[in-house]
């Protein structure tokens, strides 16, 4: 992974954390998880990659977004992605 892509991966994780931080501890785990998923997906789709989720929120029928096999990114080098937008949910 090149240096720029590594920094972009940090930005993706940061965006998910910031989105979830507004909801964590308020008693609605699903809302916090959805906020993290939405933010992570948006950030991933801005990256100059052709990414494929290989470890994600679940199978396509069980997860609305970031499911195993989902393609993300704006085009570029092929990258396999393992993710967990909000650990513990």
Q: Superfamily assignment of 3-82 in CATH?
A: Fructose-1,6-Bisphosphatase, subunit A, domain 1 (3.30.540.10)
What confidence tens digit (pLDDT) does each residue in 5-53 have? 999 999 999 999 999 999 989 999 989 999 999 999 999 999 999 999 9
Select the more confidently predicted residue: 88 or 68.
68
SS (H, E, C) 29-84: HHHHHHHHHHHHHHHHHCCCCEEEEEECCCCCCCCCCCCCCCEECCCCCEEEEECC
89 SS3 class: coil
pLDDT of residue 89: 62
Segment 44-65 shows an average pLDDT of: 87
pLDDT of residue 1: 59
């Amino acid at each position: 992974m090149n240096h720029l892509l590594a920094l972009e991966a940090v930005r993706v994780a940061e965006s998910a954390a910031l989105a979830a931080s507004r909801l964590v501890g308020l008693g609605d785990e699903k809302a916090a998880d959805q906020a993290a998923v939405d933010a992570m997906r948006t950030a991933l789709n801005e990256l100059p990659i052709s990414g494929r989720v290989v470890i994600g929120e679940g199978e396509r029928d069980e997860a609305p977004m970031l499911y195993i096999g989902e393609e993300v990114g704006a085009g570029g080098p092929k990258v396999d992605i393992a993710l967990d937008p909000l650990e513990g949910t």
